[in-house]
Amino acid sequence: MIIGVLAVQGGVAEHQRTLDALGIEHRAVRRIEHLEGIDGIILPGGESTTMSKLLTIGGLYEPLRAALADGLPAYGTCAGMILLSSKVLDTRPDAVSFGALDATVRRNAFGRQVDSFEADLAFEGIEESVHAVFIRAPWIEEVGPGVKVLARVPDGPNANAIVAVTQGNILATSFHPEVTGDTRVHEYFLQMVRDAKKAK
Ligand code: GLN
């Protein structure tokens, strides 16, 4: 199994370290040819509009969009979640997204004052709570019928905001498990990749 890590911008190294810790082979995806032979891809956090621009300029947008539409398993964290979604609120008019996840996502949804915060979440499919780190995070405002909500903000002013979802071979979280040393969300994704591989 080879997992691609989209490496045009953002927190690439943290995901690579997490995959290293799990003993999973991975590859930085910067150009079209890097998509060849990967079993899944991680879209890291960073700046979604910058990634959008670099993906378009570099010619990676269309082939990756097609691969996702064709069922390539993908896990997006934060900006990666934004890129996977079908509709993005509070973004630049020229920003593109892949539309692989039937969801409306709002960028920087927790407000600019609350730049970052942390919370312990109940995550469906993972036994004990997940410590979630949010950094200028988006949330999901609306989901289509095929989308399963896996986690919400437990309390506070933004209680119940949707912060983890899955649909088919897609997983997305508003938060960053790759910075906490907790590998369980990545393992959840790797199981999705294995299942997709088996189903092929
Ligand atoms: N606010 C960023 C964006 O809109 C996402 C932040 C992150 O990935 N940590 O792209």
Question: Can you give the CATH number for the domain in which 191 is found?
Answer: 3.40.50.880
Residue 86 has a pLDDT of 98
Say if ligand 1 is within 6 A of residue 47 CB.
yes
Residue 111 has a pLDDT of 82
Give the count of domains, the chain.
1
User: To the nearest whole number, what is the mean pLDDT of the chain?
Assistant: 96
174 alpha carbon to ligand 1 midpoint, in Å?
Answer: 9
Say if ligand 1 is within 6 A of residue 135 CB.
yes
For the CA of 49, the nearest atom of ligand 1 = 10
- What is the extent of the structural domain holding 22? 2-199
State the angle between helix axes of 12-21 and 184-199 in degrees (0 to 180), rounded to the nearest 10: 80
Stretch 94-118: mean pLDDT, rounded?
Answer: 91
Q: Write down the pTM of the prediction.
A: 0.97
5's enclosing H/E stretch is strand 2-6
